Copies of this chain bind each other. A is one copy, B any other.
Amino acid sequence: MSGPQRIVIVGGVAAGPKAAARARRLSPEAEITIVEKGELISYAGCGLPYYISGMVEERRDLMATPIGVLRDPEFFAKVKRITVRNRTEATAIDRESHELEVRDVQTGEVSRLPYDKLILATGADPVEPPVPGKDLGNVLRLKQVEDADAFRELLHNGHCPYVAIIGGGLIGMEMTEAVTECGQAVSVIEMLPQVLTMLDVEMARLVEKHMESHGVKVMVGTRVERIEGEDGTVARVVTNRGEIPAQLVLLSIGIRPSVSLAREAGLLIGFAGGIIVNEYMQTSDPNIYAAGDCAEKFCHVRGTPCFLPLGSVANKEGRVAGSNAVGHTERFPGVSGTACLKVFDWNVGRAGLSAHQARELGIPIETATVSAPDRPHYYPGTKPIILKLVAEKATRRLIGIQGVGAGDVIKRIDVAITAMTAKMTVDDVAHLDLAYAPPYSEAMDVLIHGANILRNKLDGLVRGVTSCELKAALEAQEDLFLLDVRTPDEHDAGSIPGSVLIPLGAVSGRSDEIPRDKRVVIYCKTSLRAYEAVRILEGKGYNNVEILDGGFLAWPH
């Protein structure tokens, strides 16, 4: 090789610019070129819903540095000595001659860029549902800033009082909040029986209920049959459960890795649809790297490939690809199956495996659900959160967490992610010396409290039933005894139909009212008192008692 090393990067949004910046810092002499089909580069794609709602006022804010300098091609040229060719589409990779064929989007002119190392950061594309009418006016997808501009204009000035969001995944949920904040009436239409399939069904139910409390119409288990318009513009969405008026529709049934360039060049594509890479982010061609949404992910908790398109992962992978491309060896250990989002004033997150995913993989598990304040109840501004933890029975390892609520869910998710990355057991998690002061947590933090409940379950001290399982049993008129151990005031303010009230302090004395010959499910507000009641009854020889996981706070029905 003569002359400086040539690094060519396809994709200018997240992983691409990160790879370029890292390569530059490690290699002052390399020639680095970013090829981007769109006009704009290095923007915060994850911020688009907040730009659409108007919470982020200026488009420019999404593509400026923290001190307000626009990250445009001139910035990259001047500050980083990186050449950006925007409005330029990569059309083919010639792996023999080490050349990338590109086409100027405006002039159509085709040229070839020689490379020593090529980094693919082509991102992901929205999945198009096979629905008649999807090409009508005001039926939008959300991929880039220009899409957000169109959406924002219609929301704020387009007289679209009814908005339908087709698809209840991450983007659909974030957009639901954004649109509702703008004053429109939103319907979310999801074909599956729940929104956010990254959550177990009873956790998703809590989110659905919260959305409904903000006026959103949530239609799960609903299939879109067609989209109908008037004068070429959408007017309604026709589903198997009736018609929804809609002057604006977002198609957000999912996204998939953009791999056509890689596939046509003969690079291997993985089970989850991404370009296969090794831990150095190298594709099946050692001179070609891939990073970001287009690259296959490996979930180290699950032990399987997965697809989770996130800016955080894209940045990390871009850095690793940029390092390795210039000869500075670095390994990427994979992802944790993490996702989070804000749903109105709730925080929602997950990582690792859900109980549902674990069962699909055939892993014997135990779960615990904890409902608790995020800080001491006496501290002003304390808010509740509900966490569900999943442990592998054989190893007691924490392998999954989900959380919802107005309190600080995400801190606990992040701690659990770190614990899962380190393959900690729930016993390890229960003894973490987490930072404690009343403004931040309870003395026994809710995560530690949850880990202790899970340890108690693994130790056979208590069994539990999820809210959805209990609801199914009640609907099937199973002959069970449902015991509320809260106070009479709490019971009167709302209870699960059919439950019998015996406050905790009276359980021991009135145990003759509690049957020994049928299933007994005990609940209180959070299931802490229910657990005490279980222990009291088991001390009296009962072996038929269990708690409602998460208590009445986690009862979404």
Contacts and interface: CB of A to CB of B under 8 A. Distances in A.
Contact of A28 (B431, B452, B539): B539
A408 B425 CA distance: 27
Given A440-B410, A443-B311, A443-B312, A47 B434 contact: no
Interface string A200-222: 00000000000000000000000
A14 B442 CA distance: 12
Interface residues of A, number: 98
A452 B379 CA distance: 36
Given A28-B539, A415-B414, A435 B349 contact: yes
A361 to B, nearest CB: 19
Contacts of A50: 378-379, 438
11 contacts: A25-B461, A25-B531, A44-B378, A56-B380, A62-B378, A79-B505, A81-B508, A312-B441, A411-B411, A414-B435, A419-B422
B312 A445 contact: yes
Interface of A: 14, 24-26, 28-29, 44, 46-47, 50, 55-56, 61-62, 64, 66-67, 78-81, 174, 310-316, 319, 328, 332-342, 347, 349, 351, 373, 376-380, 408, 410-411, 413-415, 417-419, 421-422, 424, 428, 430-441, 443-445, 448, 452, 459, 461, 486-487, 490, 504-505, 508, 525-526, 531-532, 535-536, 538-540
A75 to B, nearest CB: 8
Contacts of A486: 67
Number of copies: 2
A432 B310 CA distance: 13
A331 to B, nearest CB: 8
Contacts of A14: 443
Nearest to A337: B433
Residue in A314, A434, A525 with the greatest tally of chain B CB atoms within 10 Å: A434
